[in-house]
């Protein structure tokens, strides 16, 4: 564990970075000591990613200084940062699936023999040595495509260590991990820190910060608003520091009172973009007035499953019945007309039209109906009136309803989708990763809205890779692995440990 006597290895002084209309970093100071795990917390738009991109050489600051190991440096590129021992593991891995672990690790820094041939034996030896030295336990000859995401992340860490990184930036490193894989990562982080590697850990999961960090720094509105020691902090105190007000972290809901079946899926089969079967004979049912949570590590067919339900992807086999009607091969509009609301996984691709105004985005699913249009002519006054009402009701933070959706923060984009989908009669809500990448304040708001829908008799299908979200919102939990539902549990039996094992493919 680090202590206050350890030397400072990285220091940011007065870092300022402005983008058009946004002051992303406002005179931010940050220090990192040798062997320290520093957690960086903040809402969406707080400036965390901008600051890390500056420290990794992806952005140049408008003002301020960076010091690495006592030397004042100017970073023109990631290559400059890597040369000074700074490595970054991005949330979305930068790996070539068809190559081996060793080939991915040495890519761009190849070990060669005479005549320029790559020395694969030496590459394998060095990767094996590194993995053993830091307790990363991975086969250098394994093909990356065959590895679970937890091991793929280890490959990214080894890539940085191979380039002699002793300062590691981890961006949302547990976003796609099971609880067991996350615990293994924390063990690896402590092992690295014990060997003198310094780590900056960006996350929005407060439990993880308290579990693994030595020190916590919170950004809000582009400024550093405080530092805290995990031993003196709680999830509630950190959330309040992030948002600037008290946040209710525990979802408050009564016991469900399920009614008639609304969604019935029988033997569903769906192909992915490579024409491989992603959903394999999946069956489940959701009733009015209940939340069925589908838990699973990202990449086990959830995306294809939801796209098939909402008409965005063709069904290869099986049936989908919504409110008694066969909707197996319905288009997205036909599904919507069955009073189905959809919060998509990718809000920018499937949830919003980015160049459109907020007001226009709020009628995307009914612009062709009265009072928003007549004889194919839009009623702009009604669209504006609807926009003003929903922006106020759903607390969308925007200077105007005529602001383009592309200018909103992630949390506010999500609120626009929720406002549009919930402001009409709904029988079935399909929510896919409804709080991905948004801050605790927006999460609190959206969770309340989902529970309110359930209490109004709506059948809710919640698909999320966030196990805490599944466990706090669901009345029943179905675990999805390799395109199948491997088990459905009442919420009383759905412990973190049991669901986590099922997510990893164990028949717990």
Domains and CATH numbers, the chain: 8-243 (3.40.50.300), 248-339+425-508 (3.40.50.300), 354-423 (no CATH)
Q: How far apart are CA 401 and CA 420, in angstroms?
A: 13
Of the listed ranges 113-117, 268-272, 392-396, the least confidently predicted one is 113-117
Residue 507: per-residue pLDDT = 65
- Is residue 2 predicted with pLDDT exceeding 80? no
Q: Kindly state the tokens that stand for 269.
A: 């089969």
Name, in order, each residue with C-beta under 8 angstroms of 466's C-beta and a sequence gap of 6 or more.
433, 435, 436
pLDDT tops 80 at residue 441: no
Long-range contacts of 45-50 (CB under 8 A, 24+ apart): 45/221, 45/409, 45/410, 45/411, 46/219, 46/220, 46/221, 46/222, 46/242, 46/439, 47/17, 47/219, 47/221, 47/222, 47/223, 48/202, 48/219, 49/171, 49/202, 50/17, 50/24, 50/25
Reported as a single tens digit per residue, the pLDDT across 123-173 is 899 889 988 888 888 899 999 888 877 788 889 889 988 888 999 999 888
Contacts of 223 (CB under 8 A, 6+ apart): 26, 27, 28, 47
Q: Are 57 and 75 in contact (CB under 8 A)?
A: yes
Rounded (10°) CA dihedral 387, 407, 438, 384: 0
- Residue 1 pLDDT more than 60? no
% of the chain surpassing 70 pLDDT: 96
Gap between the Cα atoms of 68 and 268, Å rounded: 54
Per-residue pLDDT at 290 exceeds 80: yes
Q: Kindly tell me if the per-residue pLDDT of 402 is higher than 90.
A: yes
Q: How far apart are CA 458 and CA 475, in angstroms?
A: 13
The two three-digit tokens of residue 159, written as one number: 């890539």
pLDDT at 425: 93
Q: Which residue has the higher pLDDT, 178 or 380?
A: 380
Residue-wise pLDDT tens digits, 28-86:
999 999 999 999 988 767 888 889 999 999 999 999 999 999 999 999 999 999 999 99
Q: pLDDT > 90: what percent of the chain?
A: 57
Confidence of residue 298 (pLDDT cuts 50, 70, 90): confident
Cβ proximity of 35 and 6 under 8 Å: yes
Residue 245: the pLDDT is 78
Contact in structure between 36 and 198 (CB atoms under 8 Å): yes
Q: Which of 444, 476, 472, 471 is nearest to 460 (CA)?
A: 476
Q: What is the pairing mode between strands 198-202 and 167-171?
A: parallel
Q: What is the pLDDT of residue 437?
A: 66
- Is the pLDDT at 111 greater than 90? The verdict is no
The count of other CB atoms within 10 Å of the CB of residue 227 is 13
| Model pLDDT for residues 324-360, shown as the tens digit of each residue | 999 999 999 999 999 999 999 888 889 999 999 999 9
Residue 386: pLDDT above 70?
Answer: yes
pLDDT in tens, 408-436: 877 789 999 999 999 999 999 999 989 87
Q: What is the DSSP letter of 349?
A: I
pLDDT at 486 exceeding the cut of 50: yes
pLDDT value for 484: 95
Question: Exposure of 245 by Cβ count < 10 A (0-12 exposed, 13-18 middle, 19+ buried)?
Answer: exposed
**Cis peptide upstream of residue 371 (ω within 30 degrees of 0):** yes
Please list, in sequence order, all residues whose beta carbon lies within 8 angstroms of the beta carbon of residue 306, skipping any fewer than 6 positions away: 342, 344, 345, 430, 432, 463
215-220/377-378 β-pairing: unpaired
* pLDDT tens-digit series, residues 216-259: 999 988 899 988 899 999 888 888 888 777 776 678 888 999 99
CA nearest 438: which of 464, 462, 456? 464
Residue 39: per-residue pLDDT: 95
| Overall average pLDDT of the 382-386 stretch | 96
Tokens in use for 204?
A: 């929005």
Cα torsion 328, 334, 337, 340 to 10°: value is 50
Q: Tell me which of 285-299, 416-430, 437-451 is least confident.
A: 437-451
Residue 3: pLDDT over 70: no
pLDDT tens digit sequence for 160-180: 888 889 999 998 888 667 777
Q: Which residues contact 164 (CB under 8 A, 6 or more apart)?
A: 85
Q: Would you say residue 109 has pLDDT above 90?
A: no
Average pLDDT on 272-290 reads 94
Is residue 440 very low, low, confident or very high in pLDDT (cuts 50, 70, 90)? confident
Alpha carbon separation from 314 to 73, 326, 335 (Å, rounded): 53, 14, 13
């Amino acid at each position: 564990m680090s202590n206050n006597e350890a030397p400072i290895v990285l220091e940011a002084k007065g870092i300022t970075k402005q983008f058009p209309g946004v002051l992303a970093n406002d005179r931010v100071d940050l220090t990192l000591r040798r062997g320290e795990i520093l957690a960086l917390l903040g809402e969406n738009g707080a400036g965390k990613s901008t600051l890390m991109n500056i420290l990794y050489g992806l952005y140049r600051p408008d003002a301020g200084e960076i010091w690495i190991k006592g030397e004042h440096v100017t970073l023109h590129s990631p290559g400059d940062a890597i040369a000074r021992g700074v490595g970054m593991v991005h949330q979305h891995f930068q790996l070539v699936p068809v190559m081996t672990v060793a080939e991915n690790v040495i890519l761009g820094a190849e070990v060669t023999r005479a005549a320029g041939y790559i020395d694969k034996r030496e590459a394998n030896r060095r990767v094996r040595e590194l993995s053993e030295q830091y307790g990363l336990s991975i086969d250098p000859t394994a093909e990356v495509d065959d590895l679970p995401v937890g091991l793929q992340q280890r490959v990214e860490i080894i890539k940085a260590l191979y380039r002699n990184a002793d300062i590691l930036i981890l961006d949302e490193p547990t976003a796609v991990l099971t609880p067991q894989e996350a615990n293994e990562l924390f063990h690896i982080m402590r092992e690295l820190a014990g060997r003198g590697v310094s780590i900056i850990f960006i996350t929005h999961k407060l439990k993880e910060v308290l579990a693994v960090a030595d020190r916590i720094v919170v950004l809000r509105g582009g400024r550093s608003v405080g530092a805290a020691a995990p031993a003196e902090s709680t999830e509630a105190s950190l959330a309040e520091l992030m948002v600037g007000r008290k946040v209710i972290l525990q979802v408050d809901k009564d016991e469900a009172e399920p009614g008639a079946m609304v969604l019935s899926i029988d033997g569903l089969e769906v192909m992915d973009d490579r024409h491989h079967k992603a959903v394999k004979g999946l069956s489940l049912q959701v009733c009015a007035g209940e939340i069925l949570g589908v838990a699973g590590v990202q990449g086990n067919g959830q995306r294809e499953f939801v796209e098939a339900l909402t008409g965005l992807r063709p069904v290869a086999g099986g049936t989908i019945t919504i409110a008694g009607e066969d909707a197996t091969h319905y288009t997205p509009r036909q599904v919507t007309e069955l009073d189905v609301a959809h919060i998509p996984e990718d809000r920018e691709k499937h949830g919003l039209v980015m160049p459109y105004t907020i007001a226009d985005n709020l009628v995307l699913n009914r612009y062709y109906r009265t009072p928003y249009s007549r004889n194919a002519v839009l009623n702009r006054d009604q669209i504006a009136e609807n926009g003003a009402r929903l922006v106020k009701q759903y607390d969308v933070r925007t200077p105007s309803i005529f602001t383009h959706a592309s200018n909103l923060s992630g949390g506010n984009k999500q609120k626009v989708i929720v406002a549009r989908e919930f402001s009409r009669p709904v029988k079935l809500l399909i929510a896919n990763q409804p709080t991905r990448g948004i801050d605790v304040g927006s999460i609190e708001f959206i969770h309340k809205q989902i529970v309110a829908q359930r209490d109004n008799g709506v059948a809710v299908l919640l698909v999320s890779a966030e196990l805490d979200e599944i466990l706090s919102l669901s009345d029943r939990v179905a675990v999805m692995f390799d395109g199948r539902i491997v088990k459905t549990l009442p919420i009383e039996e759905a412990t973190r440990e049991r669901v986590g094992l099922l997510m990893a493919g164990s028949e717990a």
